[in-house]
A and B are shown apart, each in its own frame.
Chain A
Amino acid sequence: MTVEFRSLHKSFGATKALDGLDLTAHQGELLALLGPSGCGKTTALRMLAGFEHPDSGQVLVDGEDISEVPAHRRDAGMVFQSYSLFPHLTAADNVAFGLRMRKVGAAERRARAAELLELVGLPQHADRYPHQMSGGQQQRVALARALALRPKVLLLDEPLSALDAKVRVQLREEIRRLQQELAITTVFVTHDQEEALSTADRVAVMRDGRLEQCASPAELYDTPSTAFVAEFVGTMNRLPGRATGDGTVEVLGQRLPVRGAADTSGAVDVLVRPEAVDATADEDGSARVTATAFHGAVTRLTVTLADGTTVKADIPSHRASDLAAGAAATVTLPERPVLIEAHAA
């Protein structure tokens, strides 16, 4: 089942929620919509579910425009951010709710509900009411309910954001396992980049109602196409540099090739990940280590350069012993293309 958003526009009063979104989720893939709050990711998902109507543009499922299909006739199971189980029904009845709407017989309903509760690991909770279950259990039941009608698409609207950290990790692994087992096309809205990177096949980073970049987690992390993506996903250093206009940039006394906008010249910020920055102890170095944080295999150094810029550098812990706070150091970058951003001013 392929899902396609085609130049979707949507405004709520003066605020533009979607400003020309183009995006495709392929058959059987888990696509994460990632972005800061207000970027339009939830609006896009709600359009797919049928709860919002686009001002213009189309939502296609398997090439068919479903914009005019009412929400209850779309084949989409949804898990909501807030606990959305029906409080007056038991877990089993919640899961069977959709089957009841489809007039499936009682015996078959019960069998299917039991099967789904088994699938999400809660077979013994069939007769519990939502208020008798924990948040994580409620979301599992909600997941089972969303899958009960064998939907073509599974929609997850920040389903983990109300849970505590440990349950969140557990449940997201489970969602991933189920999604792969059922090979169901899934759209997963989240503002948590770690969640998106660890579960999704592809991550679509959104900003101000538009798509910034849609790529696999590794590609997004290693070769972000814009400065926004680079800084939203993972940690990023901004180093002052000078672009020459011929595809290279001078930074930290080195000359490095530029990825992307090669014709930029003048003062720029060079974007580098902490693990790409190397620091060595150097008596004559102009930089100074101001803080260290031990992370196991690596130690994150905070280094202040001569001009006052702060740089974070991840170096192997075994090399960090002579780089205590206060030590003089030299900071270098590997000979690899870097992403730059021209100064706004």
Chain B
Amino acid sequence: MARLTNRRIRWWRGAVGLIAGLYFLVPLACSVLFTVDVPGQGFTLSSYTGILSASGFTSSLLLTLELAAATIVLVLGLLVPALLAARLGAPRLRPLLEVVCSLPLVVPSVALVAGYSGVLRWGPQYLSRTPLFQTFVAVQNASFPVVLVLAYTVMSLPLAYRALDAGLRAVDVRTLMEAARSCGASPVRAVFQAVLPNLRGALMNASFLTLALVLGEYTVGALLGFRPFAVWIVGIGGSQAQLSVAVSVLSLLLTWALLLVFAAAGRSRTRIPRRARAKAAPALVPQESAS
């Protein structure tokens, strides 16, 4: 009987795995097929080789990566101190923090960008004779639009919050802080030397989610008139369909590669301690000489 239910469960697992796999893999396979099988030319990799020479590819990808880096720094810079402070000093503020960080989930990015463009239009008009006018100009600088960093930061708050909160739940922040302080560490050093190293996985997760969001974000960038990577892909899709899909496939691979890098970096805590390795190495020498 037990074996029977077991087998039935396995069967379902297989079915679910198959359906989910098809759901994800079929579109992917079609995309790849579309890019390499050009009608009239047969199998060709020209759309992939054409990417590098396509105008705007490098600049838009670099812009997006820069924006992503700035967003990650800003999000972590905001959230980590806030979450630590809430955990250590004001546990009753935690629900508030959670609600605030989840708010962007219920505000569609179209509504968000409508608000942004309203402010960007209104601001210069009313502040034209104040130094703030220059600020408004600067945040919209097309070579590095700070306003996008601000928007992305808001949008990635819910994701980063979940990732960091999960990490904080796994460690006893208060005890770690107190242990470090009783060992003579100032509060700031205690955070950097005792708490943050143990949040490495969570920090990596939060960073990765933010990166993934920024790489794929289209609405805000397009509506505010900038050309980050996703906007460039859509733009080029109008003229060179194969190329744009090839870029999508490539960016998917890029995202996966980055995910693996981040995951590996987050996991490397289980590495063999340096000193143990150093000790193990000389131990081999006498053995070899003995034999």
Near A by CB (< 8 A), chain B positions 253-286 give 269, 273, 275-276, 279
Near B by CB (< 8 A), chain A positions 157-209 give none
Which single residue of chain B is at the shortest CB-CB distance from A100?
B193
A56 to B185, CA, bound (A): 26
A71 to B186, CA, bound (A): 8
Q: A80-B179, A86-B176, A101-B180 are in contact. List 17 more A-B contacts (CB 8 A).
A: A72-B182, A72-B183, A72-B186, A78-B179, A86-B180, A86-B194, A86-B197, A87-B171, A88-B269, A92-B275, A100-B193, A101-B183, A102-B184, A127-B276, A145-B183, A146-B182, A148-B183
Q: Total interface residues on A, using CB and 8 Å? A: 34
Shortest distance from the beta carbon of B89 to any chain A beta carbon, whole Å: 13
Shortest distance from the beta carbon of A305 to any chain B beta carbon, whole Å: 50
Which single residue of chain B is at the shortest CB-CB distance from A92?
B275
A127 adjacent to B175 (CB under 8 Å):
no
A73 to B198, CA, bound (A): 24
The interface residues of chain A lying within 8 Å CB-to-CB of B269 are 88
A84 adjacent to B175 (CB under 8 Å):
yes
A86 to B190, CA, bound (A): 11
A90 to B273, CA, bound (A): 8
A255 to B161, CA, bound (A): 73
The interface residues of chain B lying within 8 Å CB-to-CB of A127 are 273, 275-276, 279
Known A-B contacts A127-B275, A127-B276; A49 and B176 likewise in contact (beta carbons under 8 Å): no
Near B by CB (< 8 A), chain A positions 77-108 give 77-78, 80, 82, 84-88, 90, 92, 97-98, 100-102
Shortest distance from the beta carbon of A14 to any chain B beta carbon, whole Å: 15
B178 adjacent to A78 (CB under 8 Å):
yes
Shortest distance from the beta carbon of A294 to any chain B beta carbon, whole Å: 44
- Main DSSP-derived SS at the B contact region: helix
A72 to B189, CA, bound (A): 10
A72 adjacent to B179 (CB under 8 Å):
no
B182 adjacent to A49 (CB under 8 Å):
yes
Shortest distance from the beta carbon of A153 to any chain B beta carbon, whole Å: 11
A268 to B237, CA, bound (A): 95
Q: Find B182's partner among A71, A85, A90, A126 (CB 8 Å cutoff).
A: A71
Known A-B contacts A88-B197, A90-B273; A101 and B189 likewise in contact (beta carbons under 8 Å): yes
A145 to B198, CA, bound (A): 18
The interface residues of chain A lying within 8 Å CB-to-CB of B288 are none
A111 to B171, CA, bound (A): 29
Which single residue of chain A is at the shortest CB-CB distance from B184?
A101
Q: Find A80's partner among B178, B186, B197 (CB 8 Å cutoff).
A: B178
